[in-house]
Amino acid sequence: MSSQHTTEVDGYLSGKFDFATALATHIQALQDDAMNAALAVAKAEKFSGNFCTITVVGHSDRDDTPGLTQDQRRASELNASVKRAENARDWIFEQARQALIDDGQPAPGTVSGLTRSFFFTQPAGAAQLKKPNPASETDRQRNRRVAFLVCFLT
């Protein structure tokens, strides 16, 4: 049996990458979704035959800094989305790790130490804007986001 769930967290301020800070600005249901991703990892690590994959996609807003070339803009946008995706991955991993410790289970020290859970990160840069023509900082924050897909197999 398998299940999958997608969660998206937006609201990043310009130049900010901390997933926990962005997540804290959202309703409890979305915070619970993020924690459920971590619990899926912990569950997969605890029980033989269970597997979990989490794909984290980082997004950025357009970088409209004057004086940058097109290549510099793209590099800046990709760098921001990489940092957001990796920070979200690390947050999910740390929550899963703590859940394992709290349950008295062995917990890996790093993401690479997971045996039945697999993370994939992907930068999208500014390629998939929610608000292609942002009229406000709020619109720009909607573009700055991470989305993650959790697939759990039993």
Residue 123: strand, helix, or coil: strand
> What pLDDT digit, counting tens, does each position of 54-64 carry?
999 999 999 88
> What pLDDT digit, counting tens, does each position of 77-86 carry?
999 999 999 9
> What pLDDT digit, counting tens, does each position of 66-99 carry?
999 999 999 999 999 999 999 999 999 999 999 9
pLDDT at 2: 82
Quote the CA–CA distance of 57 and 2 in Å, as a whole number: 21
Residues 119, 58 contacting (CB under 8 angstroms): no
The closest of 86, 96, 92, 82 to 124, measured between CA atoms, is: 82
pLDDT at 64: 87
pLDDT at 101: 97
Quote the CA–CA distance of 32 and 57 in Å, as a whole number: 19
Quote the CA–CA distance of 141 and 143 in Å, as a whole number: 5
Quote the CA–CA distance of 132 and 127 in Å, as a whole number: 9
Segments of the chain with pLDDT less than 50:
none
CA distance readout (Å), 64 to 74, 84, 140, 144: 10, 19, 11, 14
pLDDT at 35: 97
Quote the CA–CA distance of 136 and 60 in Å, as a whole number: 15
Quote the CA–CA distance of 40 and 53 in Å, as a whole number: 9
